Structure formats: C-alpha cells, structure tokens
Amino acid sequence: MLKNITIQNIDTNYYDSGEGEKIVLFLHGWAAPVEVYQSIFNFLEGKNYRIIAPETPGCGKTHEPPEGWNVDKYVAFVLDFCKELGLNDVILMGHSFGVRLMIKLMSLHKDKIKCEKAVIIDGAGIVPKRPLSYYWKVYTYKLCKKIVNTKIGGFFFMPLWEERRGNAGSADYNSASNVMKHTLSLVVNEDLKHLMGDINADVLLIWGENDDATPLSDGQTMEKLMPKAGLAVVKGAGHYPFLDQPKVFFGIMDAGM
C-alpha cells in the first residue's frame, strides 16, 4: 500500500505492506520508483515480513531535495523517516544507490537503528572511473527497459520508452534538474570502502553476473571487506537480477531469509 508522509518538509511517498513482526526497510536504486521492486515485496510478504520502502527525495513521487544532497543528507532523511514511523530494529535491504545509505546506516549509525541482518542487491558504494553521464544513462535506460518488459509497464509506458530509446544517452542526464545533477555528482564520487569493515550485520550479497552499472567485482570487494558477508552470483543477470532471473534470485532469497 502506498502512503504519504512529510519528512524534513518534503512530501514523501512510501510503500508499507505486510503484517509480520519482522520489518524489512527497503532502500531503492537511483531514480527507481518502489513499483519496480513489487516482486520482491510480494515475496517478503509471503514470508510474513512487513515491508516499508520510502522513495527518497528526487525519486519516484517524492519531491526533490531543496538543494544538491550528498549521501549523508539522504541518510539523515532515512533516519528521520524511521523515527517518524517508530522503526528502530529492522532488516535492511537495498539495491544499487540504496546500498550507499545502508553502508552508512550499518557502520556510522548503529546507535540509532539496529540491524542484525541485511540483503544487498547489486550495491553501489565503490567509486569507478566513469563520467556522471554514464550513471544517468545506465540507471535510467535500464530501469525503463525493465519496466516496459512487464505486462503492466509495457501497456502504460511503451510510447515513452520508444521515445526514450531513440534518445538514450547523455540526453537523460542533460534533461535532469540542476538539483538532481548536483546530487548525482555528490553521491557517486564518495567511496565507502573504508566503512565496510565496521559493519557487524550478517550480509547477504546478491549480484548479477553481467552487471555493468555496479560490476560483480564490486560485490567481491564488499564480500572481502564486510566481516560477515556472503556473495551469491546470479548467472545471466545484469543490474536487476530480480527481473532478469527471478527464479534464481528468489531461490537465493528463500535460502538466505
């Protein structure tokens, strides 16, 4: 169920469903609306979890931040969100950009939110040498492609996709607001490897073998640096393994949850 709340004077959209006592706080990828992760939410609800997934500022239906935000400001936003909803003991789960927030929450803010278990899906946090336009192109282009390949997404978004496909590339980045361009520059240029050794939670890393946005080598690095992490590789999958290879992905989730 989609709900709305005001956090830091920002009109915020979030998903809240399931009645289990164990709560999964899900942090989405860059620019991805929560609907992209519905299959994951359905799986977790079937396992008797409650799922709460905020759309962070500038993503989905949540309003943009008032200025360019770095990772710390997004983390502060999530902490305020958790405080407003009374969340203090959760299973953290995230994809891509959301993993940056998870890393800081689990390493720097253990006193504010308890997390003994986490699931990282093709996570960001290790800085490669790539231009900002690359990130915008990869994240938005692949997200749109995955959405239109679903029955509902294809029905509603195919005309937009055909237009976007013809103009894929730096145009996506150039058409973004100045606030979100600045935000992206602040976010992707922060390397978080130095924090990974301070994460005490049990971490399940799930990675698409062919991910070219956050490559498999990033997952291998995280496995080495996080004290209690294990890596599962989804063969034949890219940055969205839960959409590319759902049977394999949810088999790993079933064993790991």
- Distance of alpha carbon 41 from alpha carbon 73, whole angstroms: 26
Give me the torsion for CA of 35, 40, 46, 47, rounded to 10°. -140
**Predicted TM-score of the model (pTM):** 0.84
Predicted local confidence at residue 167, as pLDDT? 46
Cβ–Cβ contacts within 10 Å for residue 61, how many?
A: 13
Burial string for 197-217 (b: 16+ CB within 10 Å, else e) reads eebebbbbbbbbbebebbbbe
Q: Residue 130: what pLDDT?
A: 61
CA distances in angstroms from 21 to 44, 218, 222, 254, listed in the order given = 12, 33, 29, 18
Interatomic CA distance for residues 76 and 213, integer angstroms: 26
**pLDDT tens digit string along 14-66?**
999 998 899 999 999 988 889 999 999 999 999 999 999 999 999 989 999 99
Q: What six digits make up the tokens of 1?
A: 């169920």
In the block, tokens 């953290």 appear at 92
pLDDT of 199-232, one tens digit each? 999 999 999 999 988 999 999 999 999 999 999 9
Phi and psi at 88, nearest 5°, equal -140, -5
Structural element, H or E, at residue 5: strand 2-7
Q: What letter would DSSP give residue 17? A: E
Q: CA-CA distance, 44 to 28, in Å (whole number)?
A: 15
Nearest to 139 by CA among 62, 34, 215, 31: 31
Average model confidence (pLDDT) for the chain? 88
d(CA 122, CA 130): 17
DSSP 28: P
